[in-house]
Amino acid sequence: MYRGTTPNITIKINSDLDLSTMTQIWVTFKNASAEITYDIDDIELNVAEKTIALAMSQEDTLSFKSDINQANKVEVQVRFLDENGMAYASNISTVTLFRILKEGVIKDD
């Protein structure tokens, strides 16, 4: 993921969970500088393919600071709540965060 971009993220759920029974889903991205959580209203859930898709904004990706002297990672985890009140969590995965040279939101003026 590049800072200051608008990536479309697709997460494959490798589990036997029945996603059609989920009443809430949270996708959280976190590093040392920021934490962003998307909920079920922010995502596109494909029950048949067991995928979750979401679009991040420039502001979202810019909130993750990067350091030129170290590998920059953003952790991501999905949590679920089903219709019976059972809570589930995915493994925590990491996404590489790449630096940019021009800071700030870019737009066509």
pLDDT of residue 94: 96
Domain tally for the chain? 1
pLDDT of residue 14: 92
End-to-end CA distance of the chain: 25
pLDDT of residue 68: 82
Query: 63-93 pLDDT, tens per residue?
Result: 999 888 777 999 999 999 999 999 999 999 9
Query: Is residue 103 one of the residues assigned to a domain?
Result: no
Query: Is residue 44 one of the residues assigned to a domain?
Result: yes
The boundaries of the domain holding residue 26 are 8-96
Assess whether pLDDT exceeds 90 at residue 42. Answer: yes
For the beta sheet containing 44-46, the strands, ordered from the edge strand earlier in sequence to the opposite edge, are: 8-12, 51-55, 44-46
Query: Is residue 1 one of the residues assigned to a domain?
Result: no
Query: Is residue 106 one of the residues assigned to a domain?
Result: no
Which DSSP letter does residue 2 get? B
CATH number at residue 88: 2.60.40
Assess whether pLDDT exceeds 80 at residue 62. Answer: yes
Q: Which pLDDT band holds residue 47 (cuts at 50, 70, 90)?
A: very high
- Mean pLDDT, all residues of the chain: 95
Query: Is residue 22 one of the residues assigned to a domain?
Result: yes
Output the CA–CA distances (angstroms, integers) from residue 21 to 39, 85, 103, 107, in the order listed.
15, 10, 42, 40
pLDDT of residue 66: 87
In sequence order, the 6+-apart residues with CB closer than 8 A to the CB of 37 are 26, 27, 28, 29
Query: Is residue 2 one of the residues assigned to a domain?
Result: no
Query: Is residue 101 one of the residues assigned to a domain?
Result: no
pTM: 0.93
Query: Is residue 81 one of the residues assigned to a domain?
Result: yes
Environment class of 97 (CB within 10 Å of its CB; exposed 0-12, middle 13-18, buried 19+): buried
